[in-house]
Amino acid sequence: MYVFIENMTRLTHIFILLGLLFAFKASAQETVDSAYMAQLDSLLTIAEEEKKQEEAKKVIEDFENLMLKKEMSFGTSGIAPMFRGGMLMWTDHNFYKQPAKFETTKNSYRWTDYAIGGLPLLANWTLKAAGVKSRSKLERMLTANALAFSMSFGLTELLKTQVNETRPDRTDNKSFSSCHAAFAFTSASILSREYGHLSPWVTIGSYTTASATQMLRIKHNKHWTSDIFMGAGIGLTSTNLAYFLTDKILGKDAINKPKVTMSDMQRMVKFNTMPSGFTFLTGTEIGDRSIEMEDGIRIKTGAAFTAGFDIDCYTSDVFAIEFMARTTEAQMKVFGSPNLFTGDNLSIYHADLAAKYCYPINPGMRLGFKLLAGSRINNGINLTDGTKTYSLKGGGRFEFGSGMSVEYIQTENYIMGFNFDYYHTCNTFMKNRYSISSVYKVLF
């Protein structure tokens, strides 16, 4: 009996030891498995992150290639102003032919206007000389610039000799189209193409100086509205064609490839969430253009050139408060008299506040509607033939209206679009006015 109990005790000890051994082995195996799985998870996470990084790099590379392809394609930005200039030439032809004598300005004004229009070109080559990286390498910039100005001046001079339109100040018959406007927009377009990627204000500034040249040519009685739009279209189209041909000759090796930056990403996000910003615009203002006087005489205005800016502040992703300011310039003449009257320039200034609803049609385009109210101020007008004088009183008037806008994001560093605005005043002096404008917007 004693021997049996002793053997059972030994057997029990053996089973306990075997149990402890298996438990230790299982515990060790579990520890090994956990460490292995943790390492495997880490490797999988790294691989997934690397895959996502490769996918992101591929998307960015594809977008940069798209930007390069667009850079080398023929731009169509000059078609709209050329079409507008041609249409105004046709619709206002009778107004241009009506005899009137506008003030003749000094010839020095012509060189002043050239100097203002040439500021973007000066800025372009100053930046290049300072070593600031442009979109083009030197050979591309030189070739494209030479072609652009050659085509721009050549086409405007050809139109001057073929159309024979008399200038407002009647100094010659080379009014259509404006060589100053063509030069200014060639200069502006070059700066925008070469350095617009640095900041959207480069593009805004260049086209502001070009539009100022247009306004001065009307104020100095050297051109009609159709002339300055055709000149702008020629300048833009000549530049686009020059770069297109240069790229066909030199290829993409002459281009500093566009790069996607963080500001590009931020601009896309802002455009679709809170697109508050500053907008520069330029276009035409039309509408009521004839005023009946007491003796059957009519005073008429030609199509007007307008330029200005908007500042919109969004309170949500679709609602905004907008401040609008416009300046408008046009010539006026007397109709219905056999006598030769002097002409005079009409200046209208708009300042309005608007409530705006603007929603995204897709991630790259927004459609907006607004209701506006504010004030319109115009200058006084005096038209005389030496014996009889017709006067229109200047002053301010309350106005209200509505508008529609289309904005779309560019691969360049700004927002492009179009505005159509209607203004109404409760009196008989040109009470209904409409403006159609191209816009360039910088997001805050």
| Per-residue b or e along 167-194, where b marks 16 or more CB atoms closer than 10 Å to that residue's CB | bbbeeeebbbbbbbbbbbbbbbbbbbbb
Mean pLDDT over each residue of the chain, to the nearest integer: 86
pLDDT tens per residue across span 291-337: 888 788 999 999 999 999 999 999 999 999 999 999 999 999 999 88
Cβ(273)–Cβ(443) under 8 Å? Answer: no
In the structure, what pLDDT confidence band is assigned to residue 2 with cuts at 50, 70 and 90?
A: very low
Length of the chain: 444
pLDDT at 255 over 80: yes
d(CA 85, CA 252): 34
Q: Which residues contact 165 (CB under 8 A, 6 or more apart)?
A: 89, 96, 173, 174, 175, 176, 224, 227
Model pLDDT, residue 315: 95
Burial-class residue 54 by CB neighbours within 10 Å (0-12, 13-18, 19+).
exposed
Structure tokens at 40: 């495997």
pLDDT tens per residue across span 361-373: 988 899 999 999 9
Measured at the alpha carbon of residue 216, what is the angle toward residues 215 and 222, in degrees to the nearest 5?
Answer: 105
Task: Please compute the mean of the pLDDT values over residues 21-43 and round it to a whole number.
Answer: 57
Task: Please compute the mean of the pLDDT values over residues 233-262 and round it to a whole number.
Answer: 92
Residue ranges per structural domain of the chain:
1-29, 73-259, 260-444
Residue whose C-alpha is closest to residue 229's, from 74, 87, 415: 87
Residue whose C-alpha is closest to residue 81's, from 211, 200, 193, 202: 211
Cβ(299)–Cβ(333) under 8 Å? Answer: yes
Task: Count other C-beta atoms under 10 Å from residue 90's C-beta.
Answer: 9
In the structure, what pLDDT confidence band is assigned to residue 4 with cuts at 50, 70 and 90?
A: very low
Model pLDDT, residue 265: 76
Structure tokens at 166: 């008399």
pLDDT tens per residue across span 388-423: 999 888 889 999 999 999 999 876 667 889 999 999
Model pLDDT, residue 218: 92
Domain 260-444 is in which class? mainly beta
d(CA 13, CA 210): 102
Structure tokens at 441: 């917007």
More confident call, 30 vs 336: 336
Model pLDDT, residue 19: 55
Model pLDDT, residue 5: 44
pLDDT tens per residue across span 55-71: 667 766 777 777 788 88
The percentage of residues in the chain with a pLDDT greater than 90, rounded to a whole number, is 59
Cβ(327)–Cβ(308) under 8 Å? Answer: yes
Number of H helices, E strands in the chain: 10, 12
d(CA 64, CA 66): 5
In the structure, what pLDDT confidence band is assigned to residue 50 with cuts at 50, 70 and 90?
A: low
pLDDT tens per residue across span 101-155: 888 766 656 778 888 999 999 999 999 999 999 999 999 999 999 999 999 999 9
